[in-house]
Chains A and B, each alone.
Chain A
């Protein structure tokens, strides 16, 4: 397989042809913050946290969907990128209702971790405090739309790994939200198999287990990784 060589933050990195900048960076042990990206699912490029600078291009590119090119020079943590990342996370906090202290996912949340990673000590934007509602009609799971960041991991994992495509996105702009089936209560969904992959994939406390309370969320992502490896690489044993 042809090999491409590039530099990331001045470090010489070799990658397989067709790999993305994000994959090449992770293989080289260089962390680029992500939120909508989840290994095993198609890349979405929606959260913009993995934006990187590429020499010769004035536009920032999302590392999760940009393929490596021979001789490419990538910067992942410039002052401009750090400032934008912090703004993105602040906007996510201001747009929804993210109350870490009373959230099921407190201590086990990628949004909470990202806030710390980008150095967010407070939010400079005005909180919108929307009233987005909650669906607890399913026996085993619930969704609190106030905590949803619209990463669409649930939509992709349900479609691409489980094959049910119960989840989708309805609405436009700030009114967008994830729905089950044709915007029916989750508990009445005819397609949902109750497999729980959407819960495993959710980065925040938006999709939760019924009966769990503050800071009780435990997600075993290795179950998703096992399924993806089994399917893509035919490896059934860990």
Chain B
């Protein structure tokens, strides 16, 4: 049987979900024996490859880079997993939404508190442009499975990965469905 092609992504999030991924400790060695990690912040790969089996997507859709990447990922991935609360609900990344649209958020962050020549960051092609609203992943592309938690505990991540590697649909019971 061909090895499962696994990708992990870091969109609008704090990387805490990836830290929790690393918390799977010695099971990571076993995991490395069963999958090919084809794209990840933990691997030096520039282009998202074709025919990925499973993608864990950390973070919400917050800027135009996130939006572009998640659409590519959806096209090239069989099973897309919303990985952690920011991907599932918007969570901390979406805390800016009540402040208003992108311009109001930037003003509030860069101009209001600035006291020496405050300016907005603007480097087209380098600094991604903020979207007006932060959205959970499933609001932008269809999601196959939700893995909540801020961050999801390592044991919960392992449970989901073990099921996906075995070709089963992961099942999370009540104790593993907790947000936060």
Chain A interface residues (CB < 8 Å from chain B):
93, 97, 99-103, 106-107, 109, 112, 115-117, 119-123, 126-127, 129-131, 146, 215
Question: Which of under 10, 10 to 19, 20 to 34, or 35 or more describes the interface residues of B?
Answer: 20 to 34
Q: Judging by beta carbons under 8 Å apart, are A129 and B180 in contact?
A: no
Q: Counting CB contacts under 8 A, is B121 at the interface?
A: no
CA distance A109 to B179 in the complex (A): 11
Within 8 A of A (CB), among B143-179: 143, 146, 148, 150, 172, 174-175, 177-179
Chain B interface residues (CB < 8 Å from chain A):
82, 85, 88-92, 94-95, 97-99, 133, 136, 138-139, 143, 146, 148, 150, 172, 174-175, 177-180
Point out which of B95, B172, B175, B180 has the most chain A C-beta atoms below 10 A from its C-beta: B180
Residue of B91, B136, B139, B146 touching A101 (CB-CB under 8 A)? B91
10 closest pairs, A vs B, by CB? A100-B180, A101-B150, A129-B97, A131-B98, A121-B146, A100-B179, A106-B180, A116-B177, A122-B146, A116-B174
Q: Judging by beta carbons under 8 Å apart, are B180 and A101 in contact?
A: yes
Knowing A100-B150, A107-B180, A117-B174, the reply to whether A122 touches B89 (Cβ < 8 A) is yes
Tell me which residues across on chain A come within 8 A of B89, comparing CB atoms. 93, 99, 122-123, 127
Tell me which residues across on chain B come within 8 A of A119, comparing CB atoms. 174, 177
Point out which of A112, A115, A119, A129 has the most chain B C-beta atoms below 10 A from its C-beta: A129
CA distance A109 to B180 in the complex (A): 11
Closest residue of chain A to B99 (Cβ to Cβ) is: A131
Tell me which residues across on chain A come within 8 A of B139, comparing CB atoms. 126
CA distance A127 to B95 in the complex (A): 11
Closest residue of chain A to B96 (Cβ to Cβ) is: A129
Knowing A101-B150, A112-B179, A112-B180, the reply to whether A127 touches B82 (Cβ < 8 A) is no
CA distance A131 to B95 in the complex (A): 10
**How distant is B98 from chain A, measured CB to nearest CB, in Å?**
4
Q: Judging by beta carbons under 8 Å apart, are B180 and A122 in contact?
A: no
Q: Judging by beta carbons under 8 Å apart, are A99 and B177 in contact?
A: no
Tell me which residues across on chain A come within 8 A of B92, comparing CB atoms. 99, 101-102
Tell me which residues across on chain A come within 8 A of B180, comparing CB atoms. 100-101, 103, 106-107, 109, 112, 215
CA distance A115 to B180 in the complex (A): 11
CA distance A127 to B133 in the complex (A): 10
Residue of A103, A106, A127 touching B94 (CB-CB under 8 A)? A127
Knowing A122-B82, A129-B98, A131-B99, the reply to whether A101 touches B90 (Cβ < 8 A) is no
**How distant is A132 from chain B, measured CB to nearest CB, in Å?**
8
**How distant is A66 from chain B, measured CB to nearest CB, in Å?**
27
**How distant is B172 from chain A, measured CB to nearest CB, in Å?**
7
